[in-house]
RNA sequence: GCCGGAGUGGCGGAAUUGGUAGACGCGUGCGACUCAAAAUCGCAUGUCUUCGGGCGUGUGGGUUCAAGUCCCACCUCCGGCACCA
């Protein structure tokens, strides 16, 4: 036995060299009779110097890898370098170095430092992401993704670091600053290459379920993906009739045609009135009997001197209310805009109408026309150059609270929402809106976050219809709505959403309370009074108010009384209340609305287009038999038309009275109007008895009829005219909705769930969504991954552009597409690769003149998304890794890494594997079976180590002082490795570990032939505990158990040589050098290839146990109990013990509890 | 605000299923060795105490023969997300 001093310097050098010479840690992909185990630590960035964090990241997991190896696994524990990245380039700029040289020199230096850890890395498998044989495969994978349609180029707003002059991922921006250099980050529009990670959002979310990861890591990923389940609900856009002149109620109906006449230069003909200076497009009223095209051609001929033009297309009509100067009359009308193109510019003078002669013709650019007509609130009735008719379009909102739809009193668009621009011609306060949009654009994300004061502008001139209530509600644009979440549009429910409430209070928008939280659900939450006596905002979990349950409930009740929401949920005038609880619905009747539309036919003769329209208010009824599902239709006796009960509202009547009267007159039924739904109606019909065209506006009622046998007298005229028919629901729908009709009663019948009132929020979310034709859907926070970086030291994106600017992937045979050398690294805001002549020449040589290379490089997160495959087969030049090698090792059994990669690297690499799997290149769904986030080692002062604080521990220095084994072991002892806490480095603690190793060394002196029986038991307990603890990565307690054993061994009679060597084996994963030295004095193969000791259960206990005796829950005595001793014997023995009688004297024994091997408790 | 996790001596931490709270290490005190110091070794070390014992795991309740561990409520700290509809 070596009884000399423990000299770590000699020993560590000696065995590191020996291991290297003997390839002790070189691993085959398969070993007969052994199961494979892939232990992985996140590879290192070659910053140039190893710090304590590296030791914690690599040396401590090495303990685990060594344990697994001694357990009989074929263990792969590889190491490589994440060698591309910003610091190399920054160093290049700062010190005028070659980033390649800097990186590779650092790697060489760090490899030596890493060897000094005594880690069992298999260096034959190492890699660097900056090696062409590595990044060639990165590019190859990019190409495969491209073919699979997972890659696209898009112009997006990106985070731009002013300092590094590059794009940053969202993850790399912390509080508006660059993660790396802490420079300011601004928003910039840039074209970049995107990877469709969102295609896999559901898989990335759902597959977390099966992973053996810490719940907190999974949760962080779930939040990052940000999946929300909710509903998409459409709000039809309602464009109120625009007034071009003074409003007059009895306007007549007159339709207009306007012509956009284009010349060969895409200019538009504009007519300027010489006398008034006003401008207009050619056009005029549509005459009776004319088609649109006939009318347009006639107007062009009447108003202009051009004759040779051809029809292009018709834009969607706009409805206007206007004043006709010549006729001195007000009109309603649809403006139909037709586009014509001049075949030649030659004018053919012809006789013009007298008053048209006074106009001057001008050719304007399209943009000017748009600005002066389309965007002009006065003339703004022309649809922009597209054919989209936004009047019939809808705004989709995403909501998780569809149960509050009845309470949606306005709608908010994000400033970037398409519809803001699309509806521009209809927005009457466009100037104001435009100014607001500009304002918002100026604000950076940071400002937007800092000032939480809500701002917004109403889009005047447009409204949308709340599909539940069928009421028009205003539309606002506000930057509290984010364009990239959901649909970029929100239905605002001030009464049930804190955010909307705040906005509504500021801009005085209406509140409608529709969900009443039940007392139970109010439960332990707290109401928070925020403003005066009207506005109450609930904030869940606030601590503003304390009180007992009763007090809180009383408070809520008082609030309900005050607000009057207790009974029906309707807020008294002027009261405002916000509560975001779920509960039972109130104030939300079934959706019974009639869809709006252009009614052209309603059981009467088809109207004739033309003059002399009369406007009239009418009412319509859906008549239902009480307690049955039979509906009333009216069939005409004179022709084959059919319709609803309907009629005009007489003077002095309210609509309800009118419809009840009409029902009686037309059918003889008496009924009750139970619902009214308002809608905009443009129902044109020709009244045969009045011989007039009539435009009617009105309401639809639902009438319920109870006693159908008891009909009253019917007007004679109606008996002649109509025959009432009772129809089933389906018959009624067919009856009233033939394709030629546009009278749609859809929603009333879609409502299968009856009245929403009294439904729970959960039920109502589903039912309301369905009844308004919405869809239940999911939305995500996760966005696609932009990988372009305007940097030199990265993997070139394998794309070239043809002379037309179209992008093409570089064919696989040209890979690796090398990073050029001839680049000046001085930053000037352009991509460094754009300055490489070699790259340009190479591109043109291969693809042809005029072709250009992509000059951006990839985000380094791409490089690290697949490196764990390359370790498996790093020499392979025909594949990134062979299927056999991947099958042997994947997925990674345990992945060690930093908490900072919880959401970025971990998510990206999971995506990468899923994408590879989709293409069929790999077999596993998930790269990492197990994952462990390590903690952080702080400086001795408890602060994060940093040069500026002067608290940095240099591991090389400590290693030279106490040895690598001590440093490894100290880091394992500093705290539980399986909990990512932060642990301060204690220099004295290191010495404590060194003392322990010294004592183990000196324990050689106690080797004898005989030993205590109890020490054998202790040894077997120690074997068990050390193995169990390493398995669950509680390395600190594994070490403390060994310490306890050594303490006992020192005090015992002595330890046998074989028991000593067993101890040395237990210690081998922790202190590989010292234990090898001790072991090799008696063996000729490495201790690290030996089998981890096995414990013998029978030796752990030897027949009897000392048990504590509790009396009334307090420990008062100890007793030794033999195995198999009966409870009664034990009880009798104990009760006779003086330490026990002291406490039980004169008291009655109520209970005797004996938990074998644990405790005895007496209750007296 | 929401979602995770955690609160135990002077410090890092231990207590695997509810069963002797404070293992192990550091620090501190006393002692041994030494001319002395360092190193090393030994003993002590939650707290109060009238030396019987009492009290103690963030706070207040509860369940249990027994609670650091389970239940309810609250407080504090750490991490993630956050004007997310």
Through-space separation of residue A967 CA and nucleotide B39 C1' in angstroms: 20
Nearest to A540 by CA among A551, A556, A553, A524: A524
Contact residues for A74 (Cβ-Cβ < 8 A; gap 6+): A27, A28, A30, A31, A34, A35, A36, A37
| Percent of chain A clearing pLDDT 90 (strictly above) | 40
> Of the given ranges (A418-432, A663-677, A686-700, A1051-1065), which has the lowest mean pLDDT?
A686-700
For residue A1032, which nucleotide's C1' is closest to its Cα? B16
Nearest to A399 by CA among A467, A478, A460, A450: A467
For residue A443, which nucleotide's C1' is closest to its Cα? B83
Residue nearest to nucleotide B6 (CA to C1'): A981
Contact A657, A665 (CB under 8 A): no
Through-space separation of residue A1029 CA and nucleotide B11 C1' in angstroms: 24
The encoded tokens of residue A503 equal 């906005």
Nucleotides of B under 7 A from a protein CB: 1-5, 11-16, 19-21, 23-27, 39-42, 54, 65-67, 72-76, 79-85
How much is the pLDDT for A613?
A: 54
Instruction: Please tell me which of A57-71, A205-219, A493-507 the model is most confident about, judged by mean pLDDT.
Output: A57-71
Prediction pTM value: 0.78
- Mean pLDDT across A998-1017: 87
Nearest to A785 by CA among A351, A259, A89, A201: A201
Distances from the Cα of A885 to the Cαs of A246, A869, A888, A918, in angstroms? Answer: 82, 9, 5, 19
> Of the given ranges (A88-92, A172-176, A323-327, A386-390), which has the lowest mean pLDDT?
A386-390
Q: Is pLDDT larger for residue A694 or for residue A236?
A: A236
CA angle A1020, A1021, A1023 (to 5 degrees): 60
Q: Is A707 exposed, middle or buried (0-12, 13-18, 19+ CB in 10 A)?
A: exposed
How much is the pLDDT for A1087?
A: 97
Band (A947; pLDDT cuts 50, 70, 90) = confident
Q: Is pLDDT larger for residue A376 or for residue A1163?
A: A1163
pLDDT tens for each residue of A763-796: 899 989 988 888 999 999 999 999 998 889 999 9
Contact A65, A39 (CB under 8 A): yes
Q: CA A88, CA A101: separation in Å to the nearest integer?
A: 9
pLDDT tens for each residue of A183-198: 777 777 788 899 999 9
Contact A254, A278 (CB under 8 A): no
How much is the pLDDT for A667?
A: 87
3-state secondary structure of A393: coil
- Mean pLDDT across A1003-1008: 88
How much is the pLDDT for A543?
A: 28
For residue A445, which nucleotide's C1' is closest to its Cα? B83
pLDDT over 60 (residue A830): yes
Q: CA A218, CA A204: separation in Å to the nearest integer?
A: 10
- Mean pLDDT across A1107-1125: 81
Residue nearest to nucleotide B42 (CA to C1'): A1051
Crossing angle of the two packed helices A964-973 and A52-70, in degrees rounded to 10: 90
pLDDT over 60 (residue A542): no
Residue nearest to nucleotide B81 (CA to C1'): A223
Q: Is pLDDT larger for residue A1055 or for residue A562?
A: A1055
E strands present in A42-90: 74-76
Crossing angle of the two packed helices A132-147 and A905-919, in degrees rounded to 10: 60
Through-space separation of residue A1076 CA and nucleotide B17 C1' in angstroms: 38
pLDDT over 80 (residue A334): no
For residue A989, which nucleotide's C1' is closest to its Cα? B26
The encoded tokens of residue A709 equal 């046998």
Taking residue A392's Cβ as centre, other Cβ atoms within 10 Å add up to 12
Distances from the Cα of A640 to the Cαs of A603, A634, A637, A735, in angstroms? Answer: 9, 11, 7, 11
- As a whole number of Å, the end-to-end CA separation of chain A is 59
Rounded-to-10 torsion of CA A116, A121, A125, A131: -40
Through-space separation of residue A985 CA and nucleotide B67 C1' in angstroms: 34
3-state secondary structure of A237: strand
pLDDT over 80 (residue A983): yes
Q: CA A543, CA A933: separation in Å to the nearest integer?
A: 33
Through-space separation of residue A1115 CA and nucleotide B54 C1' in angstroms: 14
How much is the pLDDT for A249?
A: 44
Residue nearest to nucleotide B14 (CA to C1'): A1037
Through-space separation of residue A543 CA and nucleotide B57 C1' in angstroms: 26
DSSP string, A757-776: TT-BHHHHHHHHHHHTT-EE
How much is the pLDDT for A541?
A: 34
Residue nearest to nucleotide B83 (CA to C1'): A480
Q: Is pLDDT larger for residue A746 or for residue A837?
A: A837
Whole-complex ipTM: 0.95
Through-space separation of residue A1000 CA and nucleotide B40 C1' in angstroms: 14
- Mean pLDDT across A916-920: 96
Contact A1055, A1008 (CB under 8 A): yes
The encoded tokens of residue A342 equal 């001049």
Q: Is A445 exposed, middle or buried (0-12, 13-18, 19+ CB in 10 A)?
A: middle
Residue pointed to by tokens 């030993």: A1011
Band (A752; pLDDT cuts 50, 70, 90) = very low
Distances from the Cα of A57 to the Cαs of A62, A64, A147, A226, in angstroms? Answer: 9, 12, 37, 30
Q: Residue A510 carries which DSSP code?
A: -
Backbone angles phi, psi at A611, to 5 degrees: -95, -175
For residue A483, which nucleotide's C1' is closest to its Cα? B84
For residue A455, which nucleotide's C1' is closest to its Cα? B83
3-state SS string over A597-608?
Answer: ECCCCCCCCCCC
Through-space separation of residue A1002 CA and nucleotide B42 C1' in angstroms: 17
How much is the pLDDT for A592?
A: 52
For residue A480, which nucleotide's C1' is closest to its Cα? B83
Through-space separation of residue A454 CA and nucleotide B21 C1' in angstroms: 54
Band (A691; pLDDT cuts 50, 70, 90) = low
Band (A895; pLDDT cuts 50, 70, 90) = very high
Through-space separation of residue A116 CA and nucleotide B40 C1' in angstroms: 29
How much is the pLDDT for A370?
A: 65
Q: What is the mean pLDDT of chain A?
A: 81
For residue A1105, which nucleotide's C1' is closest to its Cα? B20
Contact A616, A690 (CB under 8 A): no
How much is the pLDDT for A490?
A: 95
Through-space separation of residue A975 CA and nucleotide B22 C1' in angstroms: 16
- Mean pLDDT across A797-802: 96
Through-space separation of residue A453 CA and nucleotide B82 C1' in angstroms: 16
Task: Write out the H or E segment, with its range, that includes residue A406.
Answer: none
Contact A964, A949 (CB under 8 A): no
pLDDT over 90 (residue A672): no
Band (A875; pLDDT cuts 50, 70, 90) = very high
- Mean pLDDT across A1125-1149: 79
Contact A60, A968 (CB under 8 A): yes
The number of angstroms, rounded, from the C-alpha of A782 to the middle of its chain's C-alpha atoms is 4
Rounded CA Rg of chain A: 41
A573-585 burial string, b = 16+ CB within 10 Å, else e? eebbbbbbbbbbb
Q: CA A732, CA A632: separation in Å to the nearest integer?
A: 7
For residue A1157, which nucleotide's C1' is closest to its Cα? B19
Through-space separation of residue A1026 CA and nucleotide B31 C1' in angstroms: 35
For residue A231, which nucleotide's C1' is closest to its Cα? B85
> Cα dihedral sign for A390, A392, A398, A402?
positive
pLDDT tens for each residue of A174-183: 666 676 677 7
How much is the pLDDT for A583?
A: 76
| Strand A630-636 relative to strand A535-538, pairing | unpaired
> Cα dihedral sign for A536, A401, A482, A435?
negative
The encoded tokens of residue A935 equal 């903690």
Crossing angle of the two packed helices A99-115 and A86-95, in degrees rounded to 10: 120
Residue pointed to by tokens 């009960």: A645
Contact A820, A833 (CB under 8 A): yes
Nearest to A1093 by CA among A1057, A1071, A1061: A1061
């Amino acid at each position: 036995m070596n009884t000399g001093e423990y000299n770590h310097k000699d020993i560590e050098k000696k065995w590191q060299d020996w291991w290297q010479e003997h390839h002790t840690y070189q691993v085959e992909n398969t070993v007969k009779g052994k199961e494979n185990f892939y232990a992985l630590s996140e590879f290192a960035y070659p910053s140039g110097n190893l710090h304590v964090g590296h030791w914690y990241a690599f040396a401590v997991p090495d303990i685990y890898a060594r344990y697994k190896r001694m357990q009989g696994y074929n263990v792969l524990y590889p190491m490589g370098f994440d060698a591309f990245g910003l610091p190399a380039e920054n160093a290049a700029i700062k010190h005028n170095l070659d980033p390649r040289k800097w990186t590779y020199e650092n790697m060489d230096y760090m490899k030596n430092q890493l060897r000094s850890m005594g880690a069992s890395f298999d260096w034959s498998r190492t890699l660097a992401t900056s090696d062409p044989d590595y990044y060639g495969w990165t590019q190859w994978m990019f190409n495969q993704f491209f073919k699979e349609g997972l890659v696209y180029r898009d112009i997006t707003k990106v985070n731009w670091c002013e300092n590094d002059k590059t794009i940053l991922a969202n993850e790399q921006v912390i509080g508006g600053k660059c993660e790396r250099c802490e420079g300011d980050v601004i928003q910039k529009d840039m074209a970049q290459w995107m990877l469709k990670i969102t295609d896999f959002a559901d898989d990335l979310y759902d597959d977390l379920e099966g992973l053996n990861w810490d719940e907190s890591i999974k949760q962080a990923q779930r939040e990052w993906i940000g999946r929300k389940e909710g509903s998409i609900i459409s709000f039809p856009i309602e464009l109120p009739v625009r007034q071009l002149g003074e409003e007059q109620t009895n306007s007549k109906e007159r339709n207009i045609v306007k012509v956009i006449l284009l010349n060969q230069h895409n200019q538009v003909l504009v007519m300027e009135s010489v006398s008034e200076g006003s401008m207009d497009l050619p056009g005029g009223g549509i005459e009776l009997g004319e088609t649109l095209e006939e009318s347009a051609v006639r107007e062009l001929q009447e108003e202009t001197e051009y004759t040779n033009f051809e029809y292009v297309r018709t834009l969607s009509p706009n409805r206007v209310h206007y004043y006709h100067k010549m006729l001195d009359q007000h009109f309603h009308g649809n403006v139909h805009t037709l586009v014509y193109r001049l075949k030649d510019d030659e004018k053919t003078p012809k006789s013009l109408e007298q008053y048209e002669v006074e106009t001057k013709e001008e050719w304007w650019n399209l943009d000017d026309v748009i600005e002066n007509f389309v965007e002009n609130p006065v003339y703004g009735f022309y649809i922009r150059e597209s054919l989209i008719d936004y009047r019939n379009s809808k705004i989709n909102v995403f909501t998780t609270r569809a149960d509050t739809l009845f309470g949606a009193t306005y709608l908010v668009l994000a400033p970037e929402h398409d519809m803001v621009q699309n509806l521009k011609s209809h927005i009457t306060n466009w100037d104001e809106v435009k100014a607001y949009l500009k304002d918002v654009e100026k604000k950076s994300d940071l400002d937007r976050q800092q000032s939480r004061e809500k701002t917004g502008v109403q889009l005047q001139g447009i409204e949308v219809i709340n599909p539940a209530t069928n009421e028009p509600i205003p539309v606002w644009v506000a930057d509290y709505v984010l364009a990239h979440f959901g649909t970029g549009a929100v239905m605002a429910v001030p009464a049930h959403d804190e955010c909307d409430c705040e906005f509504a209070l500021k801009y005085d928008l209406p509140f409608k309370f529709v969900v009443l939280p039940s007392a139970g659900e109010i439960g332990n939450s707290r109401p928070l009074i925020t403003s005066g006596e009207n506005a109450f905002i609930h904030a869940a979990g606030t601590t503003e108010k304390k009180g007992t349950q009763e007090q809180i409930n009383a408070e809520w009740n008082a609030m309900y009384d005050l607000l009057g929401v207790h009974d029906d949920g309707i807020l008294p005038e002027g009261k405002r209340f916000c509560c975001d609880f779920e509960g039972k619905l109130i104030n939300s009747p079934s959706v019974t609305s009639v869809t709006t539309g252009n009614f052209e036919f309603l059981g009467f003769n088809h109207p004739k287009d033309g003059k002399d329209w009369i406007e009239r208010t009418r009412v319509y009824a859906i008549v239902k038999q009480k307690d049955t599902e039979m509906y009333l239709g009216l069939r005409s006796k004179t022709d084959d038309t059919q319709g609803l009960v309907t009629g005009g509202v007489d003077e002095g009547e309210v609509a309800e009275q009118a419809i009840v009267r009409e029902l009686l007159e037309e059918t003889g039924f008496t009924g009750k109007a139970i619902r009214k739904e308002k809608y905009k109606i443009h129902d044109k019909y020709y009244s045969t008895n009045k011989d007039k065209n009539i435009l009617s506006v009105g309401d639809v009622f639902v009438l319920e009829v109870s006693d159908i046998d008891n009909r009253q007298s019917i007007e004679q005229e109606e008996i002649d005219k109509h025959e009432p028919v009772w129809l089933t629901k389906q018959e009624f729908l067919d009856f009233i909705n033939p394709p030629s009709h546009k009278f749609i009663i859809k929603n009333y019948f879609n409502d299968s769930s009856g009245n929403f009132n009294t439904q729970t929020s959960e039920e109502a979310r589903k039912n309301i969504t369905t009844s308004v034709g919405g869809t239940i859907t999911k939305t995500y926070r996760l966005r696609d991954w932009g990988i372009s970086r305007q940097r030199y030291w990265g993997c070139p994106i394998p794309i070239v552009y043809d002379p037309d600017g179209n992008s093409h992937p570089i064919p696989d045979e040209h890979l690796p597409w090398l990073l050029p050398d001839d680049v000046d690294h001085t930053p000037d805001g352009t991509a460094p690769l754009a300055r490489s002549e070699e790259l340009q020449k190479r591109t043109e040589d291969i693809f042809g003149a005029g072709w250009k290379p992509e000059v951006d490089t990839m985000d380094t997160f791409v490089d690290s998304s697949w490196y764990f495959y390359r370790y498996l087969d790093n020499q392979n030049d025909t594949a990134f890794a062979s299927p056999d090698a991947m099958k042997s090792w994947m997925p990674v059994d345990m992945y060690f890494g930093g908490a900072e990669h919880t959401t970025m690297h971990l998510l990206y690499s999971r995506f990468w594997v899923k994408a590879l799997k989709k293409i069929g290149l790999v077999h596993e769904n998930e790269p990492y079976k197990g994952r462990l986030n390590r903690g952080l080692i702080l400086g001795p002062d408890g602060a994060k180590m940093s040069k500026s604080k002067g608290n940095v521990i240099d591991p090389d220095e400590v290693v030279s002082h106490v040895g690598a084994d001590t440093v490894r072991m100290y880091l394992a002892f500093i705290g539980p490795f399986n909990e990512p806490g932060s642990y301060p480095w204690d220099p004295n603690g290191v010495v404590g570990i060194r003392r322990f190793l010294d004592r183990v060394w000196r324990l050689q002196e106690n080797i004898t032939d005989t030993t205590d029986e109890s020490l054998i038991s202790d040894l077997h307990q120690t074997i068990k505990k050390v193995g169990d603890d390493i398995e669950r990565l509680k390395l600190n307690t594994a070490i403390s158990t060994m310490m306890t054993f050594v303490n006992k061994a020192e005090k015992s009679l002595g330890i046998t040589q074989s028991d000593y060597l067993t101890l040395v084996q237990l210690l081998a994963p922790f202190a590989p050098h010292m234990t090898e030295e001790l072991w090799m004095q008696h063996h000729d193969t490495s201790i690290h290839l030996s089998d981890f000791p096995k414990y013998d259960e029978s030796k752990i206990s030897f027949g009897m146990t000392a048990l504590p005796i509790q009396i009334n829950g307090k420990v008062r005595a100890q007793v030794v109990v033999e195995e198999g001793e009966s409870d009664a014997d034990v009880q009798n023995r104990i009760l006779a013990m003086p330490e026990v009688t002291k406490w039980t004297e004169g008291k009655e024994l109520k209970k005797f509890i004996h938990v074998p091997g644990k405790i005895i408790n007496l209750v007296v």
